[in-house]
Structure 1
Amino acid sequence: MLMRKTRPSGAQRVGGGRHGWRDRTEQLDPVRDHQEIHRITAGFEFPWDYQRSLEFALFRTYCVPTISQLLQKTGEFEKRPQKRYDDTALLMAELVEHGYDSDRGRESLRTVNRMHHRYDIDNDDMLYVLSTFVYDPIQWIDRFGWRRLTPNERLATFLFYREVGIRMGIKNIPEDFSEFHRFKMNYERENFRYTEDNHRVGRYTLDLFCSWFPAPLRPLVAKGVYAMLDPMMLSAFGFQASPRWMTVAGERALVARSALVRWLPPRRTSKASCDPRNRSYPGYPVGYRPSDLGTDRDFHVSRG
């Protein structure tokens, strides 16, 4: 299992040019070293792609009526969508950056479990959400990343989130990569359907995405988000599809970005837990602990 002393810590741990981190993960065992491999993948190789893909992964889960119904009932997405987004993103980033059995990792898991235990959540819904953290980033990076993920990286991602799920008390997590993916696909076919709660939570989330941009750009951003949603999601949310040309333009822009990133030098510092768009906890993680996060907390650091 990963020990802190084996974690990459800067330039001295990467060599071989642009593919230095990939070569490093190929030297590791994807079972024994899955935490280190996943940290390299998400923090050094594809931090931007992981952030964007997980935004859409969470968006995707709101197509499930039982999930959107619970979110609508809590009122969090209507009242504090940015905080709920930041809570989720930062808690998961803590696990990636520090490991699920580190002090901060265990504290993050206690915070996640503390929030979830307030509600009666179906195990299959939890299992489905977990599956999106595994497979949606893989699919995104295969389409829009500057390179495709290696078998080691894919397996390490699956094993990492499987261990996270076990520590969250999720039952019946498949032990096989392909079996878990089949569960995800079958679950979506059986459960994605339109409801008013889906539409409301989807709209709150879309408005959140748009709020990150200047007001004049927001209508275009909304159309761009619609262009990135597949037909199953559009139907489940009751959203209207963007013109085909907009989907093509968006995909080409992402592919062009990956072509540019391919020429950049390897990243020397992990960005797994550094999200400058976090608005709820300025300066995080300085001055904060994972236990300060969560929908049942209203923590503010005194700046003075």
Structure 2
Amino acid sequence: MSRYAILEQIKQLDPVKDHHRIIYLAGAYETPWLTTRALEFALFRTYAVPSIAKLLDQTGQFYHHGQRRYDDTAILIAEITEHGYDSERGRAALRRMNQMHGRYRISNDDFLYVLSTFIFEPLRWTSRFGWRQPIQVEKEAMYYFWREVGKRMNIKNIPPSYEAFEQFNIAYEQANFCYSDASHRVAEATIQVFLSWYPAPLRPLIREAIYALMDDPLRWAFGFPKPATVMRIMAEGTLKLYGKTIRWMPARKTPYLYTQHHRHRSYPTGYQLEKLGVDHR
């Protein structure tokens, strides 16, 4: 299959009517590994908002069940993106998310911001490190897909267009990113989860690479040190090389589905959607 075959399919689709099909093709065939990393960083990024970090800090989940917290969130998002928000599994995942969120007082603006990161972080990562640039159809499809998810989460005042939501995302970070002890603790706990995936001798290097992939406002909000210039060049260069390498490889013939192909460390024998989440710890 031609490297550009999936892209040609995407170009023929309507971002309003076919938004799930578009993000499925892009995420499962075009950029599966990069999309997963971008969504990890999207959630990580939200911890720079003190009100979000304070709530997560108070639950204690990141300190006692960090890997499970990661797995639960990643699985729920993947169930929605892979199966669609109106599929049986997608509805079950949304129901579970709404049940968990309903236990806490979360502002609508914080909900909006988190929702926006699921649109813009994957697109930004693909733009920086992907084997090709996202096209306008994909950008609009991301907006329409996550707008529908937001409606099903009872999120109000979702901006009326991709451009308006991007402006909200940027303005919200500028107004709300600042250092807090809670942000530092939650971010550090999350980094500990990431580091646990690698052999101990590599962990200091991985930590520096994580710092290097943060922009300055994010790093300042977490209170992390400035990485060496050489580390930033190496980290970004490695990801850019990955994208260039993928460009010359054959296109995937089968989809990579996170729910089926990823090894979920917390659930080696499988998981039940209704049992994911903090009230089952």
Q: Same fold (TM over 0.5)?
A: yes
1:290 aligns with 2:277: no
How big is the alpha-carbon RMSD for the aligned residues of Structure 1 and Structure 2?
A: 1.2
CA deviations 1:128-156 (Å, max 9, x no partner) are 00000000110000010011111111110
Displacement of 1:162 in angstroms is: 0.7
Q: 2:192 aligns with which of 190, 200, 207?
A: 207
From the superposition, tell whether residues 218 and 44 of structure 1 become closer, same or farther in structure 2 (CA, over 3 Å). same
CA deviations 1:191-242 (Å, max 9, x no partner) are 0010110111111011111111001111111111001111001110010011
How does 1:7-18 map onto structure 2 within 5 Å? 17-18=2-3
Amino acid at match of 2:253: R
Displacement of 1:293 in angstroms is: 1.5
Q: Is the 8 A contact 1:31 1:159 kept in 2?
A: yes
Q: Which runs of 5+ in 2 are unaligned?
A: none
Displacement of 1:297 in angstroms is: 2.1
CA deviations 1:170-189 (Å, max 9, x no partner) are 11101210100000111001
Quick one: percent identity of the two aligned structures? 47
From the superposition, tell whether residues 250 and 164 of structure 1 become closer, same or farther in structure 2 (CA, over 3 Å). same
Q: Which runs of 5+ in 1 are unaligned?
A: 1-14, 299-304
Distance 1:153 1:210 in 2: 32
Amino acid at match of 2:56: L
CA deviations 1:31-65 (Å, max 9, x no partner) are 10001011111111111011111111111100000
TM-score, length-scaled by structure 2: 0.97
Displacement of 1:84 in angstroms is: 0.7
Q: 1:280 is matched with which residue?
A: 266
1:259 aligns with 2:244: yes
Give the secondary-structure state (helix, strand or coil) at the position aligned to 1:280.
coil
Displacement of 1:96 in angstroms is: 1.1
CA deviations 1:90-110 (Å, max 9, x no partner) are 111011111100100100000
Distance 1:88 1:279 in 2: 13
How many pairs are equivalent? 280
Distance 2:194 2:261 in 1: 15
Q: 2:136 aligns with which of 126, 151, 154?
A: 151
Amino acid at match of 1:280: S
Please identify which structure carries the higher helix content: 2
How does 1:21-100 map onto structure 2 within 5 Å? 21-100=6-85
CA deviations 1:2-55 (Å, max 9, x no partner) are xxxxxxxxxxxxx5x111111111111111000101111111111101111111
Distance 2:65 2:117 in 1: 23
How does 1:196-235 map onto structure 2 within 5 Å? 196-235=181-220
